Chains A and B, each alone.
Chain A
Amino acid sequence: AQTVTQSQPEMSVQEAETVTLSCTYDTSESNYYLFWYKQPPSRQMILVIRQEAYKQQNATENRFSVNFQKAAKSFSLKISDSQLGDTAMYFCARPFGNEKLTFGTGTRLTIIP
């Protein structure tokens, strides 16, 4: 099955805290890409971070990093020093067949001042 699962519909944390969003996925491939996208209230989907499966090193973009566990098919997003502007829906995604980016159902993250 071509599924991406996000088991946390909603989360909230205090500003400046660290939060981790979870994602698991199905695949029979050995090399593939994984993505986290952010959708703020403005509706514009924005790429947060990308991971290539054959790379053992976890991707990092400033305050955003991933914990990629290939054997477990797990791809969690860690946000450090969270800021009010991080409030958004976060979607995990991976391509199937090189053409169709399949998304999880999302996690609504609220940063509390």
Chain B
Amino acid sequence: GAGVSQSPSNKVTEKGKDVELRCDPISGHTALYWYRQSLGQGLEFLIYFQGNSAPDKSGLPSDRFSAERTGGSVSTLTIQRTQQEDSAVYLCASSRRGTGANVLTFGAGSRLTVL
């Protein structure tokens, strides 16, 4: 597609439920990133994919968080047994390759609210 698409744009869930957030990157972009932005804060790196593999998962805050990418395209970020501190905007970005030189194109984000 023309841009990075994320869904849902807003999600309200109850504590303890599982949620899935989806990211559809720009066609041909091999690198895909997930970031988390808490209210009024900067961006916290979660995970990076190159193709379908994730060489860097260092930012995932706990084992309740997981992500996968299939067909070198769509990625899903799953949060199990959500907690209130998981409330944030989850941003996805893609680029042609690693960020050394390439520009990241971001989606509009998925706002997660855990009650």
Determine chain A's interface SS by DSSP, over half rule: strand
A50, B104: Cα distance in complex, Å: 11
Q: Which of B91, B106, B108 has the most CB of A within 10 A?
A: B106
Measured as residues with beta carbon below 8 angstroms from the partner, the interface class of chain A is 20 to 34
Measured as residues with beta carbon below 8 angstroms from the partner, the interface class of chain B is 20 to 34
- Knowing A91-B42, A105-B42, say if A47 contacts B99 (CB, 8 Å): no
| Chain A contacts with B in 82-112, Cβ cutoff 8 A | 91, 95, 97-106
Establish whether residues B100 and A98, one from each chain, have CB atoms under 8 Å apart when the complex forms.
Answer: yes
Establish whether residues B100 and A50, one from each chain, have CB atoms under 8 Å apart when the complex forms.
Answer: no
* B98 on the A face (CB < 8 A): yes
Give the segment of A11-19, A38-46, A59-67, A73-81 that binds chain B.
Answer: A38-46
Q: Which of B56, B100, B101 has the most CB of A within 10 A?
A: B100
| Chain A contacts with B in 8-60, Cβ cutoff 8 A | 32-33, 35, 37, 42-47, 50, 52
